[in-house]
Structures are given as structure tokens and as C-alpha cells.
Amino acid sequence: MEAIRMLQISTYLFALTALGGIVMGWIRFSSGRNPPSSFAMGHGFLAAAGVTLLAYAIFALDAPGTALLSLLLFLGASIGGVVLNLHYHLKEQPMPKAIVVVHAVVAVIAFVLLYMAAFTGDAAGV
């Protein structure tokens, strides 16, 4: 399978991940409580699948340079997600809104870069 097609599939996975993140953010900010664990697990599994496919497209199929920057940012966002899950969510402590916002902003920037690499014909690094 060609790199661009894999980037597109990764983009779809991250779009589903983002929908779950929006729902979880809405729950956290509107009700003041953490979202259900099942939402967090699904969000994490979709993100992990997207990161894995993105990494494969970059390292095995020579994807554009923008995709590599996207991967690095998604990995940074994943660190925030792991902190939110392991340090707060599992201990049933309220997740800090600042970490939630930084996690989301970094992921959105990464998503935009991935979208550019997958759909706009970005040839950076090709």
C-alpha cells in the first residue's frame, strides 16, 4: 500500500479519535467530572492505531516530511494523554483542565499537519 493512502487511513483514525476527545472534553468541562473509562480507553486505542499506521507510513514507505512532524506532535500529545489517564483518571482525581487543553491543542496541530500530508499534495520531504 502506498504511503499517501496509509496517511489518509491514519487521518480517518485520528478523526474518530478526535470525536471521542471532543465528547470527553465536553464531559470534563461541562459537568466537572471525568469522562467514563470506556471513552478514555477507546480514545487511546484509536490514537495508538493511528500512531502505529502513521509511523509505518513514515519509516517503511517514505511519507512526506510533514507527516514526520505530525507523528512527533502526536507522540507528544500521547504523553499528555498517558499522564491524564494514569495520574488522574485511574486515581479518580479530576483531570486538570490545563493539561486537557494542551493535550487537545497539540493533537489538533498534529492532525492538521497529517491532513496536509495526506490530502493536499504536500510534497515536503518527498
- Over residues 47-60, the pLDDT tens digits come to 999 999 999 999 99
Q: Which residues of 12-32 are buried (b: 16+ CB within 10 A; e: fewer)?
A: ebbeebbebbeebbeebeeee
- Over residues 65-109, the pLDDT tens digits come to 899 999 999 999 999 999 999 998 888 899 999 999 999 999 999
Nearest to 80 by CA among 39, 40, 113: 40
Please state at what angle helix 37-61 crosses helix 65-83, rounded to 10 degrees.
150
Instruction: Output the pTM of the full model.
Output: 0.88
The residue extents of the domains of the chain are 3-119
